Structure 1
Amino acid sequence: MTSASLESGAGPARRTVVAAAGATGLTLVMAACGSDSDSGSSDSAGGTDVQGDGASTGGGSGGGENAAAGGTVLAKTSEIPEGGGKIFKGQGVVVTQPTAGQFKAFSSTCTHQGCAVGSVSDGAIVCPCHNSRFSVADGEVQGGPATRPLPAKNITVSGDQITLA
């Protein structure tokens, strides 16, 4: 039997097996990077300065609809740590409180390769895929490989509620 007949008759070619393994690995990585639901993790990013007007709109926190404001209620202001933030995976947003009473919101999708940011610590929103870091104050890149800031999102603060506009 020649080597050519051995390669063509026994099963898939080596190239086919290697390509399939690579595709499977890529699929797993992509699934891990972007399809989580809101689990209330402590990551967040912010972008829009909003000051509360002291008027409570009622209702709870954590993703309900706010009929008065026309948006999704994300959290109570007390749930966002000063100097840190909270990631809302289901809404694709991270809310931060850079200084007392100042709330910002940013996209929770890293601008490097589209992974979901994973945590907020030491004044930075951190992407777990390649360790890009973004400022909780303005979403600007603090450390790469990302080169673009996180896009700002619109939120409103009314009383003690933060709503995605």
Structure 2
Amino acid sequence: MSASQEIQAHVGRRAVVAAGATGLAAVLTACGGGAKESGGSDTVEPAGEGDGANGTPLARTADIPEGGGMVFAEEGVVVTQPKAGEFKAFSSKCTHQGCAVKGIADGVITCPCHNSTFDAATGAVTGGPATQPLPEKQILVEGDSITLA
């Protein structure tokens, strides 16, 4: 191989590595939170002042879809509305390996890491590999406001 061909081959490998890193960054960005999930769930990223702790509003009741819910990443909580006007809250940390649950639809909370599923009304495991329910969290629903207790 000539010196010119070696330089072209070396530059070609750099371009592939750079393109691969750029593609990976795009994929990771696309996987970030804050986007509406299909089937009635949201993942809410930290919003600054209103962190839901100490009586600060976490969400409005109208924000939590019936049969679905929302994950509040910073607070580590998932809030669901299994039936009209009934709100529940659980740890958003899957009991299998600690991944954050993400999808909430049709009364089921799903962990994206290994597809464990949990009942949105009770936190009970409905499909493994998780074997323990999601721990319940205390919330207060006053008027149209939901706060962490």
Q: Above 0.5 in TM-score? A: yes
Structure 1 CA distance, aligned partners of 2:128 and 2:59? 30
1:39 aligns with one of 34, 40, 58: 34
Listed as ranges, the matches of 1:1-165 within 5 Å are 39=34, 41=36, 42=41, 64=50, 70-165=54-149
% identical aligned pairs: 62
Task: Please state how far the C-alpha of 1:39 moved relative to its aligned partner.
Answer: 2.5
RMSD: 2.5
Q: Which amino acid aligns with 1:64?
A: G
Residue aligned with 1:90, SS: coil
Structure 1 CA distance, aligned partners of 2:147 and 2:35? 15
Which structure has the higher relative contact order (CA within 8 Å, separation 6+)?
Answer: 1
In the TM superposition, structure 1's runs of 4+ consecutive aligned residues that sit over 2 Å from their partners are: 38-41, 69-72
The answer to whether the 8 Å contact 1:80/1:97 transfers is yes
The answer to whether the 8 Å contact 1:63/1:73 transfers is no
- Provide the TM-score with structure 1 as the length reference: 0.61
- Provide the TM-score with structure 2 as the length reference: 0.67
Size of the aligned set, in residue pairs, is: 112
The answer to whether the 8 Å contact 2:123/2:133 transfers is yes
Q: Return 5+ residue gaps in structure 1 as ranges.
A: 1-31, 45-60
Higher strand share: 2
